[in-house]
Amino acid sequence: MRTKISKESSLNTHIVSILFLIFFLLLSISPEKKNNQLAIPKNVILLIGDGMSYSQITATEYFHGSLNMTSMPYHGTISTHSLNRRVTDSAAAATAIATSHKTRNGMVAILPDGTHLQTIAQYALEMGKSTALLASSHITHATPAAFAVHHKKRGEYFNIAELFVNSDINMILGAGSDYFLPESDGGKRKDGKNLITEMKEQGYFYINIDKNIEQISEHEKVIAFIEPMNLKPYPERADQMIRLTNSALLRLSQNPEGFFFMIEGSQIDWAGHDRNADWMIQEMIDFDNVIGSVLEFAEKDGNTLVVVTSDHETGGLTLPAGRFGNSDEFRYKFSTRRHTAQQVPLFSYGPSAELFTGSFDNTDIARKLFSLWGKQIEEPDSIGMELHQSIKK
């Protein structure tokens, strides 16, 4: 009997010490805590569904089933107006999301007076973090460009490509070699400049075919242009977005300082402009699959904040009717071929994800991210704020 008791008590001691060990291990791997117990994420992955709002999400869930994004634990709603328009374009919206400043439609990370706005990606570089941008449109398109360069006219893609050369972004992923290569090398540049050669001289590794996507993880600085202009529409492009994402994450996660990664589902917007619900839903499914992959990474990593949001709604999509049991009877209607002023959702997961709840402005996204990483930015500039106040009245 005694032996048994002593065995049990030594077993109990073991269990207690193992529990303590687990407790301290958990403490040591939990994200760094600063003022007011805020958890500071080492990594941030920001996913932007261009042209995605509640109707796009609702339609996709009714046709396809529940989405990864709506399973994320925190949810906010954001206003999207630009400095000069109730209805934003992607350039002004991406500027707000990337820099926390309102600007005029068409402008890329720059104020109307020419002031360059530091982007969260540029700030991450300053902190020693790695940075990556991935889009299913060409990389010089407004949304990804607003994280890397400063330019007054979003449509000047050849100029924007030149600005990418010195952007220092570690991973430039997706498509768009046409704007980087001269006509003599199969591109569309008429000035004879080969920006890819210039970037290789700066240490970038260049990938231009699908089968080499996985080589991204072998290089610290990479350009991967799988198509000369845009990635093919989903499902034609198959799992390219997921493969690009995963290969980039393999490398990015090796930086002990962490990383910032922006991923854009660019073509949800184009399907909306086209009033093409089938295409829109396919693009939504692909975007959400990428989110699933990112959430899997973030769950394992434990130190990654994932923010999923949108720049604006496209198409004025409404869902006026639909009987249960017959998806063919599900009705949708686009009210415009353009963007709308509708508010858009935000979903978040990971350290300090709870900061991204409630109703706020698109400029608040970057303000919260900058603040988590130690840089305080003032409230929105006066004109944007006035516009916001006039809406709230």
Q: Which residues are catalytic?
A: 90
Applying CB under 5 A, the span of 169-177, 228-236, 266-274, 328-336 interacting with Zn ion comes to 266-274
Whole-number minimum distance, CB 48 to Mg ion, in Å? 7
**Can you tell me which of 162, 178, 269, 288 binds Zn ion, judged by CB under 5 A?**
269
Whole-number minimum distance, CB 102 to Zn ion, in Å? 18
**Can you tell me which of 167, 266, 348, 352 binds Mg ion, judged by CB under 5 A?**
266
**Can you tell me which of 53, 60, 82, 90 binds Mg ion, judged by CB under 5 A?**
90
Do residues 283 and 267 make contact, with C-beta atoms less than 8 angstroms apart?
Answer: yes
Tell me the residue nearest to Mg ion as measured from the CB: 143
- CA–CA gap between residue 290 and residue 262 (Å, rounded): 12
Do residues 291 and 346 make contact, with C-beta atoms less than 8 angstroms apart?
Answer: no
Applying CB under 5 A, the span of 63-71, 111-119, 265-273, 281-289 interacting with Mg ion comes to 265-273
Applying CB under 5 A, the span of 66-74, 230-238, 269-277, 295-303 interacting with Zn ion comes to 269-277
Secondary structure (H, E, C), the chain = CHHHHHHHHHHHHHHHHHHHHHHHHHHHHCCCEEHHHEECCCEEEEEEEEECCHHHHHHHHHHHCCCCHHHCCEEEEEECCCCCCCCCCHHHHHHHHHHCCCCCCCCECECCCCCECCCHHHHHHHCCCEEEEEEEEECCCHHHHCCCCCECCCCCHHHHHHHHHCCCCCEEEEECHHHCCEHHHCCCECCCCCHHHHHHHCCCEEECCHHHHHHHHHCCCEEEEEECCCCCCCCCCCCHHHHHHHHHHHHHCCCCCCEEEEEEECHHHHHHHCCCHHHHHHHHHHHHHHHHHHHHHHHHHCCEEEEEEEEEEECCEEEEECCCCCHHHCEEEECCCCEECCCEEEEEECCCHHHHCEEEEHHHHHHHHHHHCCCCCCCCCHHHHHHHHHHHC
Amino acid at site 270: W
267 binds, among Mg ion, Zn ion, none (CB under 5 to 8 A by kind): none
Whole-number minimum distance, CB 132 to Zn ion, in Å? 23
- Footprint (CB under 5 A) of Mg ion, residues 119-178: 143
Whole-number minimum distance, CB 104 to Zn ion, in Å? 16
Which lies closer to Mg ion via its Cβ, residue 272 or residue 351?
272
Whole-number minimum distance, CB 137 to Mg ion, in Å? 6
Whole-number minimum distance, CB 92 to Zn ion, in Å? 12
- The verdict on 264 binding Zn ion (CB under 5 A) reads no
313 binds, among Mg ion, Zn ion, none (CB under 5 to 8 A by kind): none
266 binds, among Zn ion, Mg ion, none (CB under 5 to 8 A by kind): Mg ion
Which lies closer to Zn ion via its Cβ, residue 301 or residue 313?
313
- The verdict on 267 binding Mg ion (CB under 5 A) reads no
- The verdict on 283 binding Zn ion (CB under 5 A) reads no
- Footprint (CB under 5 A) of Zn ion, residues 204-243: none
Tell me the sheet residues that pair with 310: 49
Say how many residues touch Mg ion, by CB under 5 A: 4
Which lies closer to Zn ion via its Cβ, residue 264 or residue 301?
264
Applying CB under 5 A, the span of 18-26, 262-270, 318-326, 380-388 interacting with Mg ion comes to 262-270
- Strand 43-51 to 339-340 pairing: unpaired
95 binds, among Zn ion, Mg ion, none (CB under 5 to 8 A by kind): none
List of residues contacting Mg ion (CB under 5 A): 50, 90, 143, 266
List of residues contacting Zn ion (CB under 5 A): 269
